A and B are shown apart, each in its own frame.
Chain A
Amino acid sequence: MTRYLRLIRIFTGATISAQLEYRANFIGAVLSSLGQVGVALLAIGVLFGQGIDTVGGWTFREALLVTGFFILTEGFIAVFVQPNMSRIAEAIRTGNMDFTLLKPLDAQFSVSTRYLNVLRVPDLLIGLGLIVYAASALTITPGGVLIAAVLYASALTIVYCIWLALSTTAFWFVKTQNVAELFNGIFGAGRFPVTAFPLPVRFALTFIVPIALITTVPAQAMTGRLSPALAVTSPLLAAGLFAVTRWFWLRAVASYTSASS
């Protein structure tokens, strides 16, 4: 365990020093992060600007909480998930996956933790800031925050599992960036509380693609109006998905025959 923690530290150091080479890009990335939050606020601000008090039963501040979780999750994907997952297909295509599999390390661990995109760290800060700002005007209990934290941890696990499962298909299909693209498209629905959507869509966003569990449910936990059923669903789904993707990954690795063969 300590060995893995030490490796994470080494990986992080290496990837940060590699990225600091490109300093000019950092300005662009910060601009892009600020633009992102501006656009998210505009989307929700325009909606509430039409003399509407609540959207799907959520007040402005409460909906802002959901937007905060949305930006935080986008940041999480951009910083931790995407840089690693997008390299899996590349490694399989070029045969570099051989080296990863030969190392005396769990291969899923090394493909999941090797890279970071430091440029998008501002997204994480902005997301957190927005959550704190939105929460400051709402009545929040410490218990609510604790449950929200647990549910959000499950949400991040779900996000990681979906991405890993999609990227693992690269062992058979070679190209997967586009599937990730598709996930991003659907995930865009997470910027609004799920109750803002018509009923059939709401159903799909909860049970078919669990976007609702990622942004709406932690926000519900914070405002203290979460149904116990949903509170249990999220961790259970996260655990189940993790087991399934782990199995899927092992199967994929077992069927790997290296590039060119």
Chain B
Amino acid sequence: MDILLQQIINGLVLGSMYALIALGYTMVYGIIQLINFAHGEVLMIGALTSWSCIGLMRDAMPGAPGWVILLLATIIACFVAAVLNYTIEKVAYRPLRNSPRLAPLITAIGMSLLLQTLAMIIWKPNYKPYPTLLPSTPFEVGGAVITTTQVLILSVTVIALAAMVYLVSYTRLGRAMRATAENPRVAALMGVKPDMVISATFIIGAVLAAIAGIMYASNYGTAQHTMGFLPGLKAFTAAVFGGIGNLTGAVVGGILLGLIEAIGSGYIGQLTGGVLGSHYTDIFAFIVLIIILTLRPSGLLGERVADRA
């Protein structure tokens, strides 16, 4: 029983990180129908930038409390990620907006590869220990252990989700985003500037990804140039799971995927009598993806979009 509760908590934490990344994916897909393969790499750049910032700031102001350093590093990382994602969209995706659909997908894959390579050149390929800056006194809830980092991750996700829902449903920008997603040409006739809206979407997505990257790195205690790829892929799965283009769907999908993964990897050994071990963890996301797409291509909460793809 304790294992189950523990795995549920782990799953929730993992899932909320997926949800944050999936939000960026789903917004971009909703507006320009592009799988932004480089999204996971934006997350990685965010995490590595914050790692460098933390190192520099610790040297510069030795007495500063951990949370101040973490906050400053997060802000800088978010800024860097936002500039990066804005540039990627402008350089690699915008010129191809009227090309065959395969072209932007290929540049997206190329961009993901390029960012990984650049990160490898800048930060070198080794694993970097990610410092714990918050007081980490794990506390027990009903036999399961939770750390402060995990509580922080959960609360940040809730706040980010609330902010996103507010932004999309009640602000001018949100209305422009929804209009562009519906039909860019008509939106342009109504005075919306689709290019600006798309740029804004990429910037918001990058900020969420950078935050997720920092949380990912603090949760696992390491950062590396390949760290973005798998979470990115799983976040896309989460977005498809929940119904791509749908914000709530992304969060629900992310959390469910996290739970499936955590519970699945906790019990796979027992269920299969030790034949399959926990190193099969990464398989769950793909299996979920395949099942969802074959049975219900529109996802749990989505409209039917598979034919548009």
Do chains A and B stick together as partners?
Answer: no
Give the A-binding residues of B (Cβ under 8 A).
none
